Structure 1
Amino acid sequence: MSIAEYDVIVVGGSYAGLSAATQLARARRRVLVIDAGQRRNRYARHSHGFLGQDGREAAAIAADGRAQLLRYPTVQWQQGRAAQAVAQDAGFRVTLSDGRAFDARRLVLATGMVDELPAIPGLAERWGGSVFHCPYCHGYELDQGRIGVLATSPMSFHHAMMLPDWGQVTFFLNGAFEPDEEQGAKLAARGVVIERTPVRAIGALATVELHDGRALAMDGLFVLTRLHSASPLAETLGCDMEDGAMGRYVRTEMTKATSIPGVFACGDAARVAGSVAFAVADGAMAGAAAHQSLIFGLAKAA
């Protein structure tokens, strides 16, 4: 049996991957981080709600995390896209899109998700600037102003009910959702204005242009995206998946272990809702669990 080159390969060098790798580095384990450089929140300039980092540039938090991680001598960083991962006798082999391959005893997947926005002109261009998905991340900065919620599914009702705590809400149904009588009463009690005219485009800042010619100026617009995994690795390895309200994600145990022994998953790829704070916590758990599995062995598949 060959000896693996690394104890753990972490696929994904954003917040969850950095956090997982840091736990392993501090345990003096040989770690390789493979990163394609596509943070999910790269469109948002600032990050909010993360203790000690509130209001900092999102890119700066990630850059600092990487710099701190690479001070540990047992860590190596490889820029590139992990195209394939397969189980083998000594653990796992990860192959990059350029054909290079690396072996490790354990694998942590922090591969993230991709947001699929509704095909409305002007929406994608404002994503992360004045169009958002997380009230906790971006709601406070709208200063109790005019907030639009663009419906994409019945889950948008949840969005519309929450956001009056951050401003004056108009709920643009856009043919994607129609509240029943009880839901309508709850929205009214929260002061939400319902707009049923279809949306034609999003204009300056977050102005919602309707098909009847009206243009309703908003200070910010919230929309629930459809989520897709940024990498096929979890599914090709055979990890069990969960179908969430916004997309499929990797099913994990509390320790972030997947159904495949030796494979852990963390961050947005392995949870219903994501944020920097959640990702860092997930990564810390996955890194610690992967380390302990090297000592105590692997549990049976979930």
Structure 2
Amino acid sequence: MNDVIIIGGSFAGLAAALQLGRARRKVTVLDTGLPRNRFAGHSHGMLGHDHKPPQDILAEARKQLARYPTISFVKARADSISGAIDDFSVLVDSGESFAARRVILSYGVVDQMPSIPGFAESWGKSIVPCPYCDGFEVAGQHWGLVWSGPQSHQSARLFGDWTDKLTLFADGHDIAPDIQADLERRNIPVVDGRIVEIAHQEGHIATVNLDTRRNVAVDILFAHPRNRPSAGLHESLCLATVETPTGIVLNVDERRQTSTPGIYAAGDLTTPFLPSVTQASSQGAMAGIFAQQSMLD
């Protein structure tokens, strides 16, 4: 029997495996090989790995984990989890099952692209969600922001640290008068109309095209499409969740345990705002440590 099965082998999952492997706990990492940030050319803001391709960082991490004999990797999709603390069973798509005392969920989320031509093709290249991840590289350029709700007002205020040229696209939303007044005070123009197309060249934006027949050129577009967990295991387990402006995340306590004893979670699956590889790695490490400590007795 495994001490821990980790479902999801990106930054959070590998960070958890590292801590458990160093504690000489038997761990199996189940992974499909489809991390959320696979569309990004570079990962930013992670100490020691700034401006490296995320796949290169993950490849190096797996190489380093190979020296721990208690860590195993299986390329598989987890289809179901049954049992209870100290006796979980995880069934994968090949029909094989794995037993473990604890489970860590780190399978992340999937961004749901709107049905706007050119949006998906530009995602991760010139349409991005996070200024801390990509803002420095495009500082001083003309930014666009797609309004997705009141939380976008904070984004507009935040972006001033990177650029003084920002255009906000209302995209059919009604923006409260007091917020509009604040945007005007900050010299942030608001463009009405719904976005109907992202005109681009190999993923690099030329213009944002609107149903008002107006085309607006920007250098980079920030958007926050809704996302969903990349697997449904939390639903079958009836784990408690929290609703956020862009989707749901799993509810965890201060030890990263979910509402089911013995099941822990980390990474984008539990991060409601500004997810990053740094946060995912930190949360994964803590989930591994707390899972290990819970088995001491």
With the length of structure 1 as denominator, give the TM-score of the two structures.
Answer: 0.93
User: Take 1:245 and 1:84, find their aligned partners in 2: how far apart are those partners?
Assistant: 28
**Contact 2:257/2:264, CA 8 A, preserved across alignment:** yes
User: Take 1:37 and 1:213, find their aligned partners in 2: how far apart are those partners?
Assistant: 41
1:129-148 paired onto structure 2 within 5 Å: 129-148=125-144
Cα deviation, residue 221, structure 1:
0.4
Between 22-31 and 79-88, the greater mean CA deviation after superposition? 79-88
Cα deviation, residue 120, structure 1:
1.1
The residue number in structure 2 matching 1:265 is 265
User: Take 2:182 and 2:276, find their aligned partners in 1: how far apart are those partners?
Assistant: 27
**Contact 1:156/1:223, CA 8 A, preserved across alignment:** no
The residue number in structure 2 matching 1:192 is 188
Cα deviation, residue 47, structure 1:
0.5
| Correspondence for 1:41 among 37, 40, 55 | 37
The residue number in structure 2 matching 1:126 is 122
2:57 paired with 1:56: no
The residue number in structure 2 matching 1:20 is 16
**Contact 2:85/2:102, CA 8 A, preserved across alignment:** no
Cα deviation, residue 118, structure 1:
2.1
The residue number in structure 2 matching 1:224 is 224
2:73 paired with 1:70: no
Count of residues in Structure 1 that have an aligned counterpart in Structure 2: 291
The residue number in structure 2 matching 1:300 is none
RMSD: 1.3
- Residues 44-73 of structure 1, C-alpha deviation per residue, up to 9 Å, x if partnerless? 010011111111111111111111112201
With the length of structure 2 as denominator, give the TM-score of the two structures.
Answer: 0.94
User: Take 1:139 and 1:51, find their aligned partners in 2: how far apart are those partners?
Assistant: 16
Matched-pair identity in %: 39
The residue number in structure 1 matching 2:99 is 103
User: Take 1:179 and 1:8, find their aligned partners in 2: how far apart are those partners?
Assistant: 47
SS, match of residue 45 in structure 2: coil
User: Take 1:11 and 1:35, find their aligned partners in 2: how far apart are those partners?
Assistant: 6
User: Take 2:64 and 2:260, find their aligned partners in 1: how far apart are those partners?
Assistant: 30
User: Take 1:84 and 1:241, find their aligned partners in 2: how far apart are those partners?
Assistant: 18
SS, match of residue 136 in structure 1: helix
Cα deviation, residue 90, structure 1:
4.0
* Residues 247/89 of structure 1: CA separation in 2 closer, same or farther (3 Å cut): closer
Letter of the 1:99 counterpart: G
Segments of 5+ residues of structure 1 without an aligned counterpart are: 297-302
SS, match of residue 107 in structure 1: strand
Cα deviation, residue 289, structure 1:
0.2
Segments of 5+ residues of structure 2 without an aligned counterpart are: none
User: Take 1:125 and 1:179, find their aligned partners in 2: how far apart are those partners?
Assistant: 28
Letter of the 2:246 counterpart: M
2:86 paired with 1:85: no
Cα deviation, residue 128, structure 1:
0.2
2:292 paired with 1:279: no
- Residues 159-211 of structure 1, C-alpha deviation per residue, up to 9 Å, x if partnerless? 22222322211000010x22222111221232211100322210122221123
